[in-house]
Amino acid sequence: MTPLLELKNVDVRYGRIEAIRDMSFAVNEGEIVSLIGANGAGKSTTMKTISGILNPHSGSIHFEGEDITKMKAHIRVVRGISQAPEGRGVFPGMTVMENLDMGSYGRKDRSGMKADFERVFALFPRLAERKSQMGGTMSGGEQQMLAIGRALMSAPRMLLLDEPSMGLAPQFIKQIFSIISEINQQGTTILLVEQNANQALARADRGFVLETGSITHRGTGKELLTNPAVKEAYLGIG
């Protein structure tokens, strides 16, 4: 079976600094795969490289068997890769509806877009209640919902989620992770970068641990949750 996404020996550099070293992993269709690691481990760099914001120094990225290593970021969105970025990145001077509209940029299937608006509002009823509210006036949790909803409006095959629980109150964290599972059950493959390792691995089919730009541990979510080294370093258990 061809993986939906595959990274092969990817190196990414910021000048002379090697942010990712010889990274290889795959994500199969229908999975939730989690990347965990400390700040500076290379998690967000990995996501930006997959989405096309950063270019690898060497190695290759394949999506549905096609080499997309040199493909522009906006073409990758059309191809089926969409990202809800770290820090949410909502457009503060635009309403909820306008933000969601931005997510459907490039789409021409009006009936499909209408169905996806309904899907987003079903997942996030709070957004349906605030269609005319400016994105910049919403709480952190509401902005995270909006960022994920906007990413879903491109009808992605693969959804990249970069630190979706960052800075959120505990009740929002639980809700966001529950919705992530629901999105996956609806058929969207998810690659999740998350510092909340417990939540991320508990919902992941498979996971990878990053340290200083390299993968140091890999396995199923359950395997990593019970790995002594992972427990001590990332789960506060030792």
11-24: pLDDT as tens digits: 999 988 999 999 99
CB-CB neighbours of 170 under 10 Å:
8
Q: Which range marks the domain in which residue 79 is found?
A: 5-234
Entry pTM? 0.93
CB 143 within 8 A of CB 124: no
23-65: pLDDT as tens digits: 999 999 999 999 999 888 999 999 999 999 999 999 999 999 9
Segments of the chain assigned E as strands: 5-14, 17-27, 32-36, 58-63, 66-67, 81-84, 158-162, 189-193, 206-211, 214-220
- Is residue 231's pLDDT more than 70? yes
100-152: pLDDT as tens digits: 999 998 788 888 899 999 999 999 999 999 999 999 999 988 999 999 999 99
- Total of domains in the chain: 1
Q: What per-residue confidence (pLDDT) applies to 33?
A: 98
| Beta-ladder partners of 208 | 35, 218
Q: What per-residue confidence (pLDDT) applies to 238?
A: 47
CB 167 within 8 A of CB 180: no
Q: What per-residue confidence (pLDDT) applies to 172?
A: 84
Structure tokens at 231: 């427990």
Least Cα distance to 37 among 229, 175, 237 occurs for 229
Sheet holding 66-67: strands in order across?
17-27, 5-14, 58-63, 66-67
CATH number at residue 138: 3.40.50.300
Pairwise pLDDT comparison (234 vs 120), residue with the higher score: 120
Q: What per-residue confidence (pLDDT) applies to 232?
A: 87
